[in-house]
Amino acid sequence: MANDPNGPAQVNPSEEAEVWWRNYEAEIHKSVVAAEQHLEVPAGTISSIPYDPDFIATVKVYAVVEPILNDLITSCPPWLRPPQSESEYFRTFVTALNMEGRAGKLKLAEGMVLLTESQIAFIRAVAQVRNRYAHNVKNMHRSLTDILTEEQRNSGRIVEHLTGIKFPLSQSLDPKLRNDLLKRFMYYCLADYLSNALHTLRPPPILEGGLLGMLGTPPPTIEK
C-alpha cells in the first residue's frame, strides 16, 4: 500500500487481489472443515483433494457430493417431508436411487429446487469423469487433463461445468501446472457446493427481532 502525503492511502491492485484471494481460500477451508465435520470423516479427508492423485481426487469429490445430496433431499421442508415413522424408509429409498436418469437423485433435487443449474451441471460433470476412472482400471493412471480432453468431444462445456473455468488454459502452460489448476478449481467448485448445501441443511439462527433484527433494526411498536 502506497501512502500519498497529499491524499488518502492508495491500494496496490495486486496487493488488494492477494488479500481477496487469501480471504477466499480461508472461506474455502471453512466450508471444507464444516463438511468434514458434517460427514464425520477425519480432518483432511476432503481438504487433501488438491494434492491427491487425479483418480483418487475425482472419486473423493463424488463420494462427498452424493451423501450431501442425499441429506439435502431427505431434509426437505416439513411440508414435503414424509411422516417421522417413514423417514428412514425415505432415506433408504433416496440413497438407493441412481444419480442420473428420469427418476434419479439429480432430477428429484431439481424438482424440489434444492440445487442451482450450475450445481447440477457440476455434479453431472463429476459423475461423468468419475465413471471414466471407476469403470476402467486402465484409466486410473491417466491425468484429469487427458480425461477431460476426451470428454470434451461429446460434452463441450465439461471443463467449465467441472471447474468453473470458462476460457481455455494456455497451451504454453506446463502440463503439470495446467492439470493442477484443473484439479484445484474442481475442488473450489466442490467447496462452493458444500457451502450452499450446509447453509440449507444448517441455516444460521434468526436473530432476535426476526428479519428486522437481522437488519439491526428493532421491530416497530404500536402505541395506543
In three-state form (DSSP H/G/I as H, E/B as E, the rest C), the secondary structure along the chain is: CECCCCCCCECCHHHHHHHHHHHHHHHHHHHHHHHHHHHCCCCCCCCCHHHCCHHHHHHHHHHHHHHHHHHHHHCCCCCCCCCHHHHHHHHHHHHHCCCCCCCCHHHHHHHCCCCCHHHHHHHHHHHHHHHHHHCCHHHCCCCHHHHHHHHCCCCCCHHHHHHCCCCCCCCCCCHHHHHHHHHHHHHHHHHHHHHHHHHHHCCCCCCCCHHHHHCCCCCCCCCC
CA Rg, the chain, in Å?
22
pLDDT of residue 211: 47
Q: What is the pLDDT of residue 77?
A: 63
User: What's the confidence (pLDDT) of residue 9?
Assistant: 57
Other C-beta atoms lying within 10 Å of the C-beta of residue 17: 10
Euclidean distance between the first and the last CA atom of the chain, given in angstroms as a whole number: 57
Please, are residues 110 and 152 in contact by the beta-carbon 8 Å criterion?
no
Taking the C-alpha atoms of residue 30 and residue 184, their distance in angstroms, rounded to an integer, is 16
The three cell numbers of residue 213 are 433484527
User: What is the full per-residue pLDDT of the chain (224 aa) written as tens digits?
Assistant: 445 556 555 657 788 888 898 999 999 999 999 999 999 999 999 999 999 999 999 999 999 999 999 999 998 765 566 676 677 888 899 999 999 998 899 999 999 899 999 999 999 999 999 999 999 899 999 999 999 999 988 888 999 999 999 888 777 889 899 999 999 999 999 999 999 999 988 876 655 554 444 455 454 454 54
User: What per-residue confidence (pLDDT) applies to 202?
Assistant: 84
Q: Is 88 exposed, middle or buried (0-12, 13-18, 19+ CB in 10 A)?
A: exposed
- What is the reported pLDDT for 212? 46
The reported pLDDT for the residue numbered 116 is 93
